[in-house]
Structure 1
């Protein structure tokens, strides 16, 4: 796959090839086509939205039918293309770009492998039986359907397996495949398949397990090979062009940048104390409280809280007044104006490069490493369990919701823990999940503002 800057590239398949190509690409080798540099990144981001959506849905414990609906919608929204003939190319290109992105460490490979296999499973289930058999042929699965005589001889045992799983009893027209048991470890481990003399009898609606095992094995091997190529040659050869994109993609925040307040244009300085109690996420509320208590925050805290306040609508004059009122109590007015006011103006694009700085996303906050005396970072990640429980209790999280939050924290699902906190405090589901502190604030205000308006 060659990356080029021109604004044209040829299709991966000719019209004749497209008709015979499998419905789902198997991504066995990189495609022989040219890719625009802008497509290289944008296609990967679109697919990453799908994979991260799947990850979030699975982490939230969505039911199988809910996951099928979610995956279908994620794919439809993110993987479309203005030219229908390019949809397949986008699918293949995006996979190989993300393969390059996620081959680089064991943790990245593990996540990508898990999410791509989950995506493959759902896409396979959406296919017709004929299309599924075509995929099996592509994998060169040589197993044959069980004939009538053998089916009748094991029908009773197949019925026992079906009853144990609460499924209908198999009928005479049911299709079963006889495969070596080691080819379907997932079904064997879950006791969802009949075993006899070293073979497993796999129903047609279970074939996805067989195919997904082969897909996973293939992808796992190619990720290792891709990593070797990346470290031995690609990273250095593309250090000025692709390498910065590849190394940034896995940590990309995919939502709005919140550099400017959009829905609530401006917040008043006199309302900020109340808003902190009702609509600030824990990371910002903790820093806000520590600022009020200590009248000081270190640089990391000033940046994290300051950009958040900018994003929710605190204008520059009010921001200077807010920070001045607190810091002057500890360092004095003169020192504040000399050492701290410049940074505040800089964040608002009024000093230095005049850059419109963006509030930090959850990913950036979670990835930070606060030191002694720092109060920035993600409380769900960095607090002890005792301190986190106390902080959540002060926010008003009840004991039942508290345990759900702590379970997510133990499994390192910090954004889901924040999402559950939001749901507990606001009494409504947050299906999109919390991905940014400013999103938390905006979503909170959407819920609370109508109530406030109706009470006045």
Structure 2
């Protein structure tokens, strides 16, 4: 894959047999064809696909039903994977997959997540293919299966019908309509475990509408191996060769926040110092509430904590003068006024773009906070990830989370679904759904203020 600057010419994926976009079937991503792609497309295509995968992840974590997931994935794909030139959609599909393969090959945790989400996406897209296209994909995968003959089907029809009925399917009695494949049973562990297939002499008899399980297993296996090989190439050559161009993009993409930057309060304007304690109790997410309470208690936070809380406060509407007054009041109790003005005030003004390069710094996203590594004496980071269970339960209880919701939250924490744990906390405290999920502390605050305002308006 060759990445070029935007001022250079670029062309679509191509191979000796012609353009990839001419292929009517689902891409199998066996290998990246020769191509040139603009640097900005390298990143933007990957971000669009990442929106799809993260949407799938959230839907699965929330336990959405198959029909709900079907609708969700359709909407995610239609919204994010479109292109102003419709003929380029297949190219965008392939480019984005291989860029994210590079992004997510680098650690075992990243590989595991990418593998699960891409496999879920592949399953969905395979099921939406025509029967002819599905058979073409099966042939291209060279699957270890063979079609069941009419004679064999007739001899097993009764037993196949029993299995079909047990899982709520109707078996066609016509040998011309019923399409079955028999495969070594170890190739379809999901179907065997769920008792969804008839097994005879070491073979599982898989109906055409169940073939997705076999195909997805092979896809997942091939992708898993490809990720290991990609990681080796990344570590031994690509990372060093592209350290000034692609490497920063690749290393940042997995923690990219995909929503508004919340650098300025968008909806409710500024908050004042006299309201901040009340607002902290009603609308701060746990990560910020913890930092806020520790600051009030200790009159000091280390640098990472000051950055995390300070930028959040900037995003919720605390202006630079009030911010200086807020931090000055607390820190002067611990370090004295003179030291505060000498060592700390500059950084606060810097966050607001009033010093240095005058950069408008943005509040931290959930992903950035989750990936932080607080040490001894630090209070930043994500409590759902970094707190012990006892401390987390105590913190949630102080917020007002009831016992039933608490168990749901802790279940998501044990599954490492930290953002969904925060979402469930929000829903429990506000008695309202948060379908988009919590992806940013300032989103939590904004959604909370919106609901509280609506509740107040309706009661007056």
Into which bin does the TM-score normalised by the smaller protein fall? over 0.9
Q: Which residue in the other structure is 1:12 paired with?
A: 13
Q: Which residue in the other structure is 1:58 paired with?
A: 60
Structure 2 counterparts to residues 49-198 of structure 1, below 5 A: 49-141=51-143, 143-172=145-174, 173-198=177-202
For the Cα contact (< 8 Å) 1:381–1:412, is it kept in 2?
yes
Where 2:3 maps in the other structure, the secondary structure is strand
Bigger CA drift: 103-112 or 198-207?
Answer: 103-112
For the Cα contact (< 8 Å) 1:155–1:170, is it kept in 2?
no
Q: Distance in 2 between matches of 1:16 and 1:333?
A: 71
Q: Distance in 1 between matches of 2:296 and 2:173?
A: 71
Where 1:210 maps in the other structure, the secondary structure is helix
Q: Which residue in the other structure is 1:407 paired with?
A: 411
Superposition deviation, residue 447 in structure 1: 1.0
Bigger CA drift: 128-137 or 18-27?
Answer: 18-27
Q: Residues 356-390 of structure 1: CA distance to partner in whole angstroms, max 9, x if unpaired?
A: 11111111211222222222111111222111111
Q: Residues 107-165 of structure 1: CA distance to partner in whole angstroms, max 9, x if unpaired?
A: 22222111111110000111121221221122234744323332221122112222332
Q: Distance in 1 between matches of 2:240 and 2:347?
A: 36
Superposition deviation, residue 298 in structure 1: 2.0
Superposition deviation, residue 189 in structure 1: 2.4
Structure 1 stretches of 4+ moved >6 Å: none
For the Cα contact (< 8 Å) 1:158–1:170, is it kept in 2?
no
Q: 1:338 aligns with which of 332, 342, 347?
A: 342
Question: TM-score normalised to the size of structure 2?
Answer: 0.94
Question: TM-score normalised to the size of structure 1?
Answer: 0.95
Quick check: 1:31 aligned with 2:33? yes
Q: 2:352 aligns with which of 348, 354, 358?
A: 348
Q: 2:325 aligns with which of 299, 321, 326?
A: 321
For the Cα contact (< 8 Å) 1:4–1:37, is it kept in 2?
yes
Quick check: 1:221 aligned with 2:239? no
Q: Residues 302-358 of structure 1: CA distance to partner in whole angstroms, max 9, x if unpaired?
A: 111111000011111111121222222333323322222222111111112211111
For the Cα contact (< 8 Å) 2:21–2:91, is it kept in 1?
no
Q: Which residue in the other structure is 1:451 paired with?
A: 455
Q: Which residue in the other structure is 2:431 paired with?
A: 427
For the Cα contact (< 8 Å) 1:279–1:440, is it kept in 2?
yes
For the Cα contact (< 8 Å) 2:81–2:92, is it kept in 1?
yes
Superposition deviation, residue 22 in structure 1: 4.0
Superposition deviation, residue 73 in structure 1: 0.8
Q: Distance in 2 between matches of 1:207 and 1:17?
A: 28
Where 2:334 maps in the other structure, the secondary structure is coil
For the Cα contact (< 8 Å) 1:297–1:375, is it kept in 2?
yes
Say how many residue pairs are matched: 456
Root-mean-square deviation (CA), in Å? 1.9
For the Cα contact (< 8 Å) 1:31–1:92, is it kept in 2?
no
Q: Distance in 2 between matches of 1:161 and 1:420?
A: 39
Q: Distance in 2 between matches of 1:147 and 1:418?
A: 54
Q: 1:242 aligns with which of 246, 249, 253?
A: 246
Q: Residues 417-456 of structure 1: CA distance to partner in whole angstroms, max 9, x if unpaired?
A: 1010001011111111111100100111121112223344
Q: Which residue in the other structure is 1:418 paired with?
A: 422
Bigger CA drift: 425-434 or 167-176?
Answer: 167-176
Q: Distance in 2 between matches of 1:345 and 1:378?
A: 25
For the Cα contact (< 8 Å) 2:82–2:89, is it kept in 1?
yes
Q: Distance in 1 between matches of 2:190 and 2:179?
A: 20
Q: 1:283 aligns with which of 281, 284, 287?
A: 287
Superposition deviation, residue 170 in structure 1: 4.4
Q: Distance in 2 between matches of 1:271 and 1:63?
A: 42
Structure 1: segments with no counterpart, 5+ residues? none
Q: Distance in 2 between matches of 1:192 and 1:347?
A: 58
Where 1:418 maps in the other structure, the secondary structure is helix
Q: Residues 239-293 of structure 1: CA distance to partner in whole angstroms, max 9, x if unpaired?
A: 2111111121112122211111111221122211111111100111111112222
Superposition deviation, residue 13 in structure 1: 5.0
Superposition deviation, residue 45 in structure 1: 0.9
Q: Distance in 2 between matches of 1:171 and 1:388?
A: 58
